Amino acid sequence: MVADMSDVTPLFEPYTFRSGVQVRNRLVLAPMTTGSADPDDSVSQAELDYVARRSAGVGLAITAVAYVTPGGKGFHGQFGAEHDGRLDSLRALATRIKAAGARAVLQIFHAGHNSPPELVQGDVTSASDVPSPQPQRAGVPVRALSGDEVQAIVRDFGQATRRAIEAGFDGVEIHGANGYLIQQFVSAHSNRRSDEWGGSLERRLRFPEAIIDEVQRATRQAQTPFLVGYRFSPEEPHEQGLTMNDTFALLDLLRAKQLDYVHVSLQDYAGGPRRGGDPERSRLNQIAERLGDTPLIGVGNIWTPDDALNALTLGATFVALGRALLLEPEWVQKVQAGQNGDLRTTFTRADRDALTLPDPMWNMLTGFMIKDRLTDAS
């Protein structure tokens, strides 16, 4: 089924989440790594400017991910939410997003065995001592977390949520995707434990369940509506990795938790499954069906209004814009005004200042992220 491309009204319908948080439309700023934190891991002015500009049209703006504990930092230039000294930094980020008219959501995580050893205090840790599949982490030793450490990390997610509330955010998104610690517990590839946190799929799901419970407990102190979302990756390519059948079990858990939304991480919103599920239907459609009345954010290779509308027809409640908003910060405003022909689809090295991108993000863009859409001004 193909959407009616003459009418973009569905993209601009308001929505009220279960928690009571209201948004002006169905468009979301996707969480994207900027690598732009200040040297002390506070949010930088460059990141504030980047996020504020792109929050001016969307209904929901999800930040780059913040780490919840010193041992969980995932990359250089990442900002933290791991102690109360971060409150001013986080407050500045929430304030700029909300001033632009969007609802502000802080994404939080622990990187697990994807943490660079030079950035963490102590060992690189994970569910088990299975090394990261990332080539740049080859040879890095990984230590399995003890039961007490697992419980401490669960509490750290709750404390980061409390800080998000105090900083003025409208919600948090638990980052259980892209091979980070929560996914490492869910996956049989990376979780080889034999205690209460590993073994059967039911026990491997206890870690995300415990985190959701702790985060929801922390939200009960909020004085205004506060939403909780969860992001996940549906499949893994490696042996014993996640399949769609594993993901269906995770989705059943997420649906039962009455979350405000679930956010799927996909390279292509219309792509089909590798293993498990119905090979004739898109993963997005099957995920939406399994979630029932739980709202779903779809993402992946969405560049045009047509793409966004098609994602809605496949079952998404919201559409997250990533690279499209990097190239065209006013994508939402132009589409709403019927100026689709004015959407930027390429950029040149001369556009650096016009795009309001932090230097590290610009370097990533021009280096490898979207070479097919980069033209040389020289």
Residues noted as catalytic: 180
Distances (CA, A) of 279 to 236, 271, 273, 318, 353: 16, 10, 6, 24, 44
Q: Please report, as a single letter, which amino acid is at residue 190.
A: S
Q: Are 125 and 152 in contact (CB under 8 A)?
A: no
Tokens linked to 220: 């009960």
Residue 302 DSSP symbol = -
For 228, residues 6+ apart whose C-beta sits below 8 A from its C-beta are 19, 161, 171, 172, 173, 174, 212, 215, 216, 219, 259, 260
DSSP 183-241: HHHH-TTT----STTSSSHHHHTHHHHHHHHHHHHHHTT-SS--EEEEEE----SSTT-
Tokens linked to 55: 């929050």
Radius of gyration of the chain measured on its C-alpha atoms: 20
Identify any residues that bridge with 171 across adjacent strands, giving them in sequence order.
105, 227
Distances (CA, A) of 359 to 36, 45, 232, 355, 366: 7, 12, 28, 11, 11
Q: How far apart are CA 296 and CA 282, in angstroms?
A: 14
Tokens linked to 226: 């506060």
Tokens linked to 134: 């990332």
For 85, residues 6+ apart whose C-beta sits below 8 A from its C-beta are none
Tokens linked to 144: 């399995």
